[in-house]
Chain A
Amino acid sequence: MSALLEVNNLKVRVEDREILHGLTLTVNKGQVHAIMGPNGSGKSTLSHVIAGKPGYEVTDGEILFEGDDLLAMEPDERAAKGVFLAFQYPVEIPGVATMNFLRTALNAQRKARGEAEMSTPDFLKKVREVCTRLNIPQDMLKRGVNVGFSGGEKKRNEVLQMALFEPSLCILDEMDSGLDIDALRIAADGVNALRTPDRGFVVITHYQRLLNYIVPDVVHVMSHGRVVKSGGKELALELEESGYAQFEDKAA
Chain B
Amino acid sequence: MNVALLKPAPEHAPNDLFADARSRLPGTGPVADVRAASFADFAARGLPHRRIEEWKYTDLRALLGQVAPLAAVPDEAALARAKAALAKLDVTGTTRFVLVDGVFAAELSDAPDAGVTLRRLCAVLGDEANAVRADLLRTNATNDVMVAFNAALATDGVVLGVADGARPEKPLHIVHVATQSAVSIATRSFLQLGKNAQATLVESFVTAEGAHDYQTHDAVVIWLGDDAALEHVRLVEDAHDAANISTAIVTLGAKARFNSFSITTGAHVSRYQAFIRFNGEDTHASINGINLLKDRQHGDATLVLDHAVPNCDSREEFRAVVDDSARSVFQGRINVHPDAQKTDAKMMTRALLLSDEAEADNKPELEIFADDVTCGHGATTGALDDSLLFYLRARGLPEKEAQAMLIQAFVGEAIETIADDSLREAAETAAERWLKARS
Contact = CB atoms under 8 A, between A and B. Distances in A.
Interface of A: 51-55, 74-76, 78-80, 85, 87, 90-91, 93-96, 101, 104-106, 108-109, 112, 144, 161, 165
Nearest to A85: B394
B393 A96 contact: no
Contacts of A79: 393-396
Contact of B396 (A54, A90, A93, A105): A105
A51 B396 contact: no
Ordered nearest first, which 7 A-B pairs have the shortest CB separation? A95-B409, A109-B396, A79-B396, A105-B395, A75-B393, A108-B396, A95-B413
Contacts of B405: 96, 101, 104
Nearest to A92: B388
A78 B387 CA distance: 17
Interface residues of B, number: 23
A122 to B, nearest CB: 17
Nearest to A78: B394
B392 interface: yes
B409 A94 contact: yes
Contacts of B413: 94-95
Nearest to A107: B396
Given A53-B394, A95-B413, 18 more contacts: A54-B386, A74-B398, A76-B396, A76-B398, A76-B402, A79-B396, A85-B394, A91-B388, A91-B391, A93-B391, A93-B409, A101-B395, A101-B405, A104-B397, A105-B397, A108-B396, A109-B395, A161-B395
A34 to B, nearest CB: 22
Contacts of A87: 391
B416 to A, nearest CB: 9
B406 A75 contact: no
B369 interface: no
Contacts of A90: 391
A53 B406 contact: no
A105 B394 CA distance: 9
A108 B390 contact: no
A108 B401 CA distance: 9
22 contacts: A52-B393, A55-B386, A74-B399, A76-B396, A78-B394, A79-B396, A80-B396, A90-B391, A91-B385, A91-B387, A91-B391, A93-B388, A93-B391, A94-B413, A95-B410, A96-B406, A104-B401, A104-B405, A105-B392, A106-B396, A109-B396, A161-B395
A109 B396 CA distance: 5
